[in-house]
Amino acid sequence: MVIPHGNLTKAALVSMDADKKIVPVDMTQLRGILNYDPDEFVFTALAGTPVSEISKTLAEHGQFLPFDPPFSSSGATLGGTVAAGLNGPGQFRYGGVRDFIIGVKFIDGAGQKLKGGGKVVKNSAGFDFPKLFVGSLGRLGILYELTFKVFPAPQAYMTLSFNPGNIQSALDTACLLAGSSLEPFAIDIVPPGRLEIRIGGNEKANESTAGLIEKCAGFPASRMTGQMESETWDKLRDFKWAQEEFLIKVALNPSLLCELDNILEKIEASRHYSAAGNVAYISTERNNLLFIDDTLKKMKLSGVALRGDLEYPRLGWHPARKAETKIQSAMDREGKFLPL
Amino acid sequence: MKTFKDALQRLRHLLPGERLLIDPAHLAAYESDGLTAFAVTPRAVVIAETSQEIIETVRICHDTGIPFVARGSGTSLSGGSLPHSDGIIIALNRMDRILEIDPRQRIAVVQPGTINLAVSVAARSHGLQFAPDPSSGQVCTIGGNIAFNAGGAHCLKYGMTSNHVLGIKAVTAEGTVIELGNRSTESTGPDLTGIFCGSEGLFGIALEITLRLVPKPECFHTVFASYDSLQKAGDAVSQIIASRMLPGALEIMDKLAIEAAEAAVGAGYPRDSEAVLIVELEGTSAQVEHDRNRLSGLLDDSGADVIHVAGDDLERERIWKGRKSAFSAVGRLSPDFIVQDGVVPRRLLGKALRKIQEIARQHKVRVANVFHAGDGNLHPLIMYDGRVEGALEQGEACAAQIVQMCTDMGGSITGEHGVGMEKRAFLGNMYSEDDINLMHRVRRGFDPKEIANRGKMFPSGEAPSLSLYGLHPLEKKGIISRE
């Protein structure tokens, strides 16, 4: 069996068994941008290309990766970001990695080179394999070339910090702003009750939007711009706050956020919520894992461990497993990849 | 045909007579969809009212090996809901309930027969909308939007249908109920919702769909500019894109399309121009205010003859009405037409349009063009008179050459209509035999007997017996339009 990997920024997804039955395939040397045409809003790169390298190239043309890839400064690769299905806080504005991936080339268990999708921003021909690979955990094939749609980057950012004081108020304000036409780029909730809102656009427009956001929230905010502002989000994207052995992502929805937060508070797990309550990240020790797994199952939430030593990284409720198995058997007839 | 009799007998137990159609007069209404050149009579039509009826019907089909085609409003432009001559239609129009709108989470849970526009109407009071807006939005259904990954005029910024579907409860062609995705914009594990969208009905039938809603923009700024050449309009698009703006929509219409739209709805486009460009900015009023000044400068320098800014919502609606009705309006110029929706890299739009005119001349057909210029999505409308012998074939040959041109330029055979019946011969232009074999295997994982929408998408698909047909009745009335 094989497991492809990049710079191991999400090491829990890469099983390295002691008896070496699973062969790791290091993708980091397969790197480089093959084609980038700023006028088309499209680039193609090899899977082992660090996302930071891509962001840098795009920035030279005033463009960016709107899904805001995490672990960028720790060396995350494009292929790893797709396989892990990870989005950063900036996904709130335009969508996640699934909304920007448009083409994939991959190797299946028989060693065949295959492809899905295309190289133009709009395409509905054939099955959407590019999306299927988002979150595939390196278990459906080895991605080696990826094509993405990109967008023009906002000229400037501003962050507004609110401190409603408790999780419920922070969430209420988050939902209010998420449903407003003020178009925030990021809406993150930091327990016990802080709210970080990132806006982007022309500097003057940001000033005026910031005023409207404060009005909508009904709280005054502290405002941040410039380098300090961007560093705040860099740290978040790199999970600097998460100090424990395990880092777990949970696909959440705002209705369940407070309930989950109360439970996590009791076991003293550090956590952070992003995308207006659509995702939770939990940092915890091994002794809480079973309890968290069980909690997620009861709450019908699905999770995946990104960091920490685990035989199998997925936690919680996975109702689609039956369908996943069907797809995996169709795609990996030789059984060369780990079960999903 | 013992198996069909068996199936029919079981269906009779399942459904009251008025919802199991077998009378040829009733079946005639289901013979064709938006790809009006073809018609096939199904053996029967099941009009489902509950998810359980759909599940049971699919199980009967699976047991007996009878092919089925799920159908909403039958607006597919690629022949996606064309019946199979040995099979049944499962009509989903009555499965049209919006089960839930949650403004706090910004989601809607709907049944597959829900009309596209109905979702935005239901969400409107919360300041939300369902972003995908195909031109047939007043009639087409979410189930069909999902099956063919429908697009619309706002795809550059908002993406396609699949970008707005978070979760799907579906019955596979084997009769198994599966749940894909969830109520979150995030997920863990492979994105099965993503691959179900655009699978052209080959996996099964969606029963309940969780949609992502987005806030309606605070303000719009809609402009049209007319030009004496398509090239100038195309160059203006390149300038806008290069200026780091992200307009909600960028649309171009050519002379024939302008004339037809003007005759039909009087949108106010200058009739003597060779091209009209529609640009729509949207967002917060502060950002739009900033961008509109830049846009105005760009358009002033773009060689436009007339630049007109919509002064109010009514005017904005009129500009869009002209655009959205353009194709049905072109129907006035010709009794029949074929519409292609190939995609080319945006920078090659000008070249593609010149080539289309060349191809049209070669085949002695007239072609009007309306296209989503922001994402390189062409919509050449190839006119023919089905009553003239050989005219359809001539039109099809022209269409085939245009599709070929799109893939030669590195684009796609379809941007938003799907492959369906119409373009299945061209899937191999984009994918190798191995790629297509993989699609077959994935399909068989959910549909081992290949009964769900049999004959669609795959190049070697068994062809239903086709016969020539006229315009879609709804299209003749101007209720639906082709985009």
Structure tokens at B49: 């009212």
Whether residues A133 and B190 touch (CB distance < 8 A) is answered with yes
Q: What is the pLDDT of residues A186-222, one digit of tens each?
A: 999 999 999 999 999 999 999 999 999 999 999 899 9
Could you tell me if the ipTM is greater than 0.90? yes
Q: Choose the mutation target among A122, A137, A151 for the interface with B, i.e. most B CBs under 10 Å.
A: A122
Residue A321 lies in a domain: no
Residue A340 lies in a domain: no
Provide the pLDDT for residue B325: 83
Q: Choose the mutation target among B146, B185, B406 for the interface with A, i.e. most A CBs under 10 Å.
A: B185
Residues of A in Cβ contact (< 8 Å) with B244: 62, 152-153, 155
Provide the pLDDT for residue A69: 98
Residues of B in Cβ contact (< 8 Å) with A320: 178-181, 189, 192
CATH of the domain at A28: 3.30.465.10
A53 and A183 within one domain: no
Provide the pLDDT for residue A15: 76
B5 to chain A, minimum CA–CA distance in Å?
Answer: 31
Environment class of residue A289 by beta-carbon count within 10 Å: exposed (0-12), middle (13-18) or buried (19+)? Answer: middle
Whether residues B191 and A127 touch (CB distance < 8 A) is answered with no
Where residue B211 falls (left for φ over 0; alpha for ψ -120 to 50; beta otherwise) is beta
Structure tokens at A77: 């690769």
Provide the pLDDT for residue B1: 53
A281 beta partners: A249, A272
Whether residues A212 and B128 touch (CB distance < 8 A) is answered with no
The amino acid present at B380, given as its one-letter code, is: P
Determine if the peptide bond prior to B335 is cis (ω within 30°). no
Question: How many structural domains are present in chain A?
Answer: 3
Whether residues B178 and A179 touch (CB distance < 8 A) is answered with no
A147 and A112 within one domain: yes
A204 and A117 within one domain: no
Which 3 state secondary structure label does DSSP give B196? Answer: helix
Whether residues B287 and A126 touch (CB distance < 8 A) is answered with no
A173 and A127 within one domain: no
Provide the pLDDT for residue B470: 46
B48 to chain A, minimum CA–CA distance in Å?
Answer: 25
Structure tokens at A164: 């409603």
Residue A326 lies in a domain: no
A270 and A231 within one domain: no
CA B309 to chain centre: 29
Among A218, A237, A256, the domain boundary falls at: A237
B361 to chain A, minimum CA–CA distance in Å?
Answer: 28
Question: For the stretch B446-471, what's the b/e string if a residue is b when 16 or more beta carbons lie within 10 angstroms of its beta carbon?
Answer: bbebbbbbbbbbbeebeebeeeebeb
Residues of B in Cβ contact (< 8 Å) with A324: 189-190, 192
The minimal CB distance from A124 to the residues B127, B149, B181 is found for: B149
Residue A330 lies in a domain: no
Whether residues B127 and A151 touch (CB distance < 8 A) is answered with no
A130 and A10 within one domain: yes
A188 and A135 within one domain: no
Interface of B with A in 434-463 (CB under 8 A): 434-436, 438-439, 441-446, 457
Is the pLDDT score of A12 beyond 80? yes
Q: Give dist(CA A46, CA B396) in Å, integer.
A: 39
Cα atoms found within 13 Å of the Cα of residue A315, Cβ hemisphere only? 28
Residues 6+ apart with CB under 8 A from B112: B70, B72, B92, B95, B141, B142, B143, B146, B205, B206, B207, B208, B209
Q: How many CB atoms lie within 10 A of CB A140?
A: 24
The minimal CB distance from B216 to the residues A114, A132, A181 is found for: A181
Whether residues B156 and A135 touch (CB distance < 8 A) is answered with no
B19 to chain A, minimum CA–CA distance in Å?
Answer: 31
Pairing label, strands B214-215, B249-254: unpaired
Q: Choose the mutation target among B158, B191, B344, B432 for the interface with A, i.e. most A CBs under 10 Å.
A: B191
Residues of A in Cβ contact (< 8 Å) with B416: 122, 124
CA distances from residue B330 to B303, B304, B333, B335, B337 in whole angstroms, order as listed: 27, 24, 5, 9, 9
Residue A103 lies in a domain: yes
Whether residues A201 and B286 touch (CB distance < 8 A) is answered with yes
A10 and A95 within one domain: yes
A114 and A86 within one domain: yes
Find tokens 């009750």 and name the residue: A193
Pairing label, strands B88-91, B68-71: parallel
Residue-wise pLDDT tens for chain B (483 aa)?
A: 568 999 999 999 999 999 999 999 999 999 999 888 889 999 999 999 999 999 999 999 999 999 999 999 999 999 999 999 999 999 999 999 999 999 999 999 999 999 999 999 999 999 999 999 998 899 999 999 999 999 988 998 999 999 999 999 999 999 999 999 999 999 999 999 999 999 999 999 999 999 999 999 999 999 999 999 988 998 899 899 889 899 999 999 999 999 988 888 888 899 899 999 999 999 999 999 999 999 999 999 999 999 999 999 999 999 998 888 887 788 788 888 888 999 999 989 889 988 999 999 999 999 999 999 999 999 999 999 989 999 999 999 999 999 999 999 999 999 999 999 989 999 999 999 999 999 999 999 999 999 999 999 999 765 544 444 445 545 544 545 544
A258 to chain B, minimum CA–CA distance in Å?
Answer: 14
Which 3 state secondary structure label does DSSP give A267? Answer: coil
Residues of B in Cβ contact (< 8 Å) with A42: 345
Whether residues B128 and A96 touch (CB distance < 8 A) is answered with no
Whether residues B187 and A251 touch (CB distance < 8 A) is answered with yes
Which 3 state secondary structure label does DSSP give A169? Answer: helix
Whether residues A320 and B180 touch (CB distance < 8 A) is answered with yes
Q: Give dist(CA B153, CA B75) in Å, integer.
A: 17
Interface of B with A in 158-187 (CB under 8 A): 159-160, 162-163, 172, 176, 178-187
Residue A87 lies in a domain: yes
Among A94, A124, A152, the domain boundary falls at: A152
Among A137, A152, A167, the domain boundary falls at: A152
Provide the pLDDT for residue B466: 46
Whether residues A125 and B187 touch (CB distance < 8 A) is answered with no
SS3 per-residue string spanning B11-42: HHHHCCHHHEECCHHHHHHHCCCCCCCEECCC
Mean pLDDT of chain A: 96
A115 to chain B, minimum CA–CA distance in Å?
Answer: 6
Q: Choose the mutation target among A127, A180, A302, A326 for the interface with B, i.e. most B CBs under 10 Å.
A: A127
Residue A89 lies in a domain: yes
Residue range(s) defining the domain that contains residue A44: 2-152
Residues 6+ apart with CB under 8 A from A298: none
CATH of the domain at A229: 3.30.70.2190
Asked if the C-beta of B377 comes within 8 angstroms of chain A's C-beta atoms, the answer is yes
Find tokens 């502290």 and name the residue: A222
Residues of B in Cβ contact (< 8 Å) with A182: 218, 284
Asked if the C-beta of B289 comes within 8 angstroms of chain A's C-beta atoms, the answer is yes
A240 to chain B, minimum CA–CA distance in Å?
Answer: 21
A125 and A9 within one domain: yes
A160 and A88 within one domain: no
Q: Which of A42-46, A329-333, B134-138 has the lowest mean pLDDT?
A: B134-138
Residue A109 lies in a domain: yes
Interface of B with A in 402-441 (CB under 8 A): 410-419, 423, 427, 430-432, 434-436, 438-439, 441
A76 and A197 within one domain: no
Whether residues B191 and A98 touch (CB distance < 8 A) is answered with yes
The residue that leads in pLDDT, A65 or A20, is: A65
**Domains located in chain B, CATH noted:** 1-216+419-483 (3.30.465.10), 219-328 (3.30.70.2190)
Residues 6+ apart with CB under 8 A from A10: A71, A76, A80, A84, A86, A306, A307
Q: Give dist(CA A86, CA A65) in Å, integer.
A: 13
Residues of A in Cβ contact (< 8 Å) with B80: none
